[in-house]
Amino acid sequence: MDYLTQQLINGLSIGATYALIALGYTMVYGVLRLINFAHGEVYMMGAVVAYWIAIGIAPWGWPVWGALAVIFGGAMGACAVLGFAIEFFAYRPLRNKPRLVVLITAIGVSLLLQNLAQTRYVFGPTPEAFPAVIEAKTVVRWTMGGPDNVVTVSNLDLLSLGLSLGLMGVLAWVVLRTRQGLALRAVSYRFDTSSLMGINTNRTISFTFMLGSALAAVAGVVDAIRYDVRPLMGLMPGLKAFVAAVLGGIGSIPGAFVGGLVIGLIETLVKGYLSSAYSDAVAFVVLIVILLVRPSGILGRYEAEKL
């Protein structure tokens, strides 16, 4: 029982970062019907930027909350700019080209960012531990039944879950209550019609990329603090977050959030009860099953194919 509870807590903590990445996939897919393959690399760049900021501000000895605010804020801002640039230079010129052309371009952007990060001018090929900004410690310690059956929650778990729940709330407010959010919903509902209604679709698409990239940056910083920073760290979380977006119903914002948490839970349960070797493959098994059984996902709506 305690083991299961611990696994569930770990799963939610990991799933929270998947959810943040998945939101970017799902919003971009909503407006452009494009799988932004480079999204995992935006997450990685968030971690890299945070790493440099943390190194830079380390000698000043700021309090934890100030340092965290600067690190998260800087990474979010930098990734928003990166997301804007990726869309502007790589995807916008291909707006009316076949989907596969754009998909290949997205793979190209992803490779480019991975390999730029591997050069020593950006980051370098070796993993680096994140500077000690915040120390991992157990904040909740809960004994279930006996003295050996301990369930622990660390401050990083709380940071991860808290940030993703909070940002989900902010995102809900932006999408549901602001004019730009209304435009986003309109564009993802009917692209051509919304442009006829006077919505600046290009600006809305840029906004979507910036929003999604900033969320991915937060996930990147959380994982950088929790594990370490490495130039290829974006690959697997990126793919798993994509699976999460499909699982939740691609194009659906609450779906991405639910999907992320579910993928995180499935992954930790498989890791805890079967073998950690399967933890990467299980996401793809979920993906293939979902695509075959219910392609519209948990919360997605079915879209009939038109000729």
* Nearer Cβ to another protein (79/106): 106
Please give the size of the binding site for another protein, defined by CB under 8 A: 54
Query: Is residue 305 near another protein by the rule CB under 8 A?
Result: yes
Query: Is residue 34 near another protein by the rule CB under 8 A?
Result: yes
Query: Is residue 155 near another protein by the rule CB under 8 A?
Result: no
Query: b/e for 199-215, b at 16 or more Cβ within 10 A?
Result: bebeebbbbbbbbbbbb
Handedness of CA 138, 142, 148, 149 (dihedral sign): negative
Rg of the chain, C-alpha, whole Å: 19
* Nearer Cβ to another protein (95/301): 95
Q: Which of residues 180-219 bind another protein (CB under 8 A)?
A: 190-192
The amino acid sitting at 299 is L
Q: What are phi and psi of 160, to 5 degrees?
A: -60, -50
Which residue from 8, 57, 85, 90 is in contact with another protein, where contact means CB under 8 A? 90
Query: Is residue 242 near another protein by the rule CB under 8 A?
Result: yes
Query: Is residue 296 near another protein by the rule CB under 8 A?
Result: no
Rounded Cα distance, 198 and 85, in Å: 24
Query: Is residue 302 near another protein by the rule CB under 8 A?
Result: no
Query: Is residue 233 near another protein by the rule CB under 8 A?
Result: no
Query: Is residue 247 near another protein by the rule CB under 8 A?
Result: no
Query: Is residue 119 near another protein by the rule CB under 8 A?
Result: yes
Q: What is the full DSSP assignment across 223-234?
A: HHHHS-B-TTTT
Tokens 């050996």: give the residue: 148
For 120, other C-beta atoms within 10 Å of its C-beta total 8
Taking the complex as a whole, how short is the minimal distance between the CB of residue 149 and another protein, in angstroms? 30
